[in-house]
Structure 1
Amino acid sequence: MKASSFCALLLAACLLGLTTATPSVSRPAPLPPPLSAPVAFDHSAFDKLLKKHVNEKGLVNYKAWKADQTAFNHYLDQLSKTPPAANWSKAEQMAYWLNAYNAFTIRLILDHYPVQSIKDIGAKIKIPFVTTPWAAKFFSIAGEKMSLDNIEHGILRKKFDDPRIHFALVCAALSCPRLRNEAYTAAKLDGQLEDQGRDFLNNPAKNKPGKAAAQLSKYFDWYKGDWTQNNLSVAKWVNKYATVKMDDNTKITYLDYNWNLNEQ
């Protein structure tokens, strides 16, 4: 075979190989699904207990809860060990402290149950200069002994400037706002607080707003400074949630507070 013919055949074979060979392509690994933002604190254990032991009216089955404390004690232990960090969002911090207040209030009731009223516990406290259950330092957060007053007045009212906390904190009395049968969470907090406001202001056992005269919860008297800050007023806060409106000239009186236990 002539050299020219051989070269022609070799070139044809090379060209055929180039057109028929399957290239080896290195495919990149698929990207992992995007991760959601980590939850600063998991309140799901408390959520399950509230759903189990609290009805839609906010009344608590303390007797059943007292016999079902393993998960509850673990949740309280986690609260004590995991205080809010500086990098938590405002909503995460508020949800933590609202749940902590309500959970440790339940702890206090269970520790003294059966009891007719949380105020009865005050007479049983034998600590110098401590006369109310809210002042008793009966739990710890990050190793610091704390009271319910510390959470409400020293943290929530002082730090967050949101009077709606008064719709969410529940001191185990019938005149308190409804205890939600779900935990507060950062993702739902604003909607939960708004719902608490509507429920509280439209419950005639707790508030009776009106245009000429209104009978309101003592919350609007006890915490008057909270409702009137930022150029607001009690009437404006009430009208935000109540179906019956009042004005700045409405005569306001306050309902007697029912301290009986919020028990089923």
Structure 2
Amino acid sequence: MILPRPATTRVWAVSSLAGLLVASTACGEYVAYENGPPANVPPGAVNLDEATKAWLESTKTLEHVAWTGLLTRYAKLDSNGVVLLDYRAISTSTEATLQLDRYLATLDVVESAQLEGTAERLGYWINGYNAAVVRGVLDFWSGDSTYSVSSNDFVFFDLPRHRFGGLVLSLNQIEHGVLRGDTTHASVRGTSDDLRARLLALHQEVWQGQPIDARFHIALNCASLSCPNLLFEAFRGPALETQLDSASRAFVADPEKGAGPNGISSIFRFYAADFEVTYGNAAGFISRHREGGLDGVNLDRYLEYDWSLNAPP
């Protein structure tokens, strides 16, 4: 999740895909924009046996069991009510990193369109985004306690290195292209015509002609302290409505990063247009999901966004 920025602030990440360099390496591929550093692309589906691939190619639902297992084991609630993820423990566990990579590999085989209905498809992209963020942190973090995904002008979100349904996408392309359908965002506008069309087709496949549901912003986690908390389980089609509602209530109940006397989350500023679609504005969303409505909420101020890594000290 990231504040949309003018194209002029992006040093190299909005070059067209015609400028991409793709080469084979021992661990898969790397992708680089013509003026940018290479980014390793995990090998994805090649890690899976043929029987598993065949099942995944035909399934209409996903339980996301592997992702739930990682969250259950490595996500913990601290004394301030913030869910922290133990990246260090994951990175030092071969079993955990293999579990994460295998989960992401399943999402490379499964195409969201084959899943049944908006809830299944939205769950696919939310879980996939969150898992890809974790994979990205493990790749770039190196155990540095000061690491932040905001480093180098948020390039973390711009690198096209995550495989979904056979496509290699950046996190911004998932959020702003697939989920938001925002053709003006640099990650969508600055890519090739073919990929832009594919992103917008995926957007239509998720929402099936219905308005976007801004609650997905409360489900995405950008590995930062001000992001909405990770759940201790994956988002799943049959439970998605309940999960999104619960996550929304928890977020606006938190005065430190959701809504309170000191202001409201900057997420409501970053994505004001999205909250207008179904709630009219941020106030409508907050009053709908917060116990006590707008009582004690300062709507005239946005809370400073803390991009510090959501990891234990």
Q: TM-score range with shorter-chain normalisation?
A: 0.7 to 0.9
Determine which of 43, 60, 65 is the counterpart of 2:90. 65
| 1:250–1:218 Cα change, 3 Å | closer
Please state if 1:41 is matched with 2:55.
no
Q: Which residue of 2 aligns with 1:51?
A: 72
CA contact (8 A) 2:60 2:115 kept: no
* C-alpha contact (below 8 Å) 1:62/1:110 kept by paired residues: yes
Q: Is the 8 A contact 2:61 2:115 kept in 1?
A: no
Which residue is equivalent to 2:232? Answer: 181
Give the 3-state SS of the residue equivalent to 2:263 in structure 1.
Answer: strand
Which structure has the greater CA radius of gyration?
1
CA distance in 2, matches of 1:110, 1:83: 25
Task: Letter of the 1:151 partner, please give it.
Answer: I
Q: Is the 8 A contact 2:275 2:282 kept in 1?
A: yes
| C-alpha deviation, 1:39, in angstroms | 5.2
Runs of 4+ in 1 over 6 A off after TM superposition: none
1:158-187 CA-to-partner distances (Å, cap 9, x unmatched) read: 233010011000000000000111001001
Query: Size of the alignment, in residue pairs?
Result: 215
Give 2:214's match in structure 1, choosing from 163, 169, 181: 163
1:88-132 per-position Cα deviation (integer Å, ceiling 9, x unaligned): 211000000000000000000011122421122x36xxxxxxx62
- 2:159 is aligned to 136
Identical residues among aligned pairs (%)? 30
Uncovered stretches (5+) of structure 1, i.e. residues with no partner: 1-37, 124-130
2:253, 2:274 → 1: CA distance?
A: 20
Q: Deviations over 1:184-225 (max 9, x none)?
A: 100110010011101110112103335xxx600101111111
For residue 233 of structure 1, the aligned residue among 275, 281, 284 is: 281
Match of 1:194 among 218, 234, 245: 245
Residues 209, 242 of structure 1: 8 Å contact kept: no
Say if 1:208 and 1:216, in contact at 8 Å, map to a contact too.
Answer: yes
CA–CA distance in structure 2, aligned partners of residues 202 and 64 of structure 1: 30
Are the equivalent residues in 2 in contact too, given 1:209–1:244 (CA < 8 A)?
A: no
Q: Flag the 1:141–1:250 CA change in 2: closer, same or farther, 3 A.
A: closer
Structure 2 contact 259–286 (Cα < 8 Å) conserved: no
Provide TM-score, normalisation by structure 2.
0.64
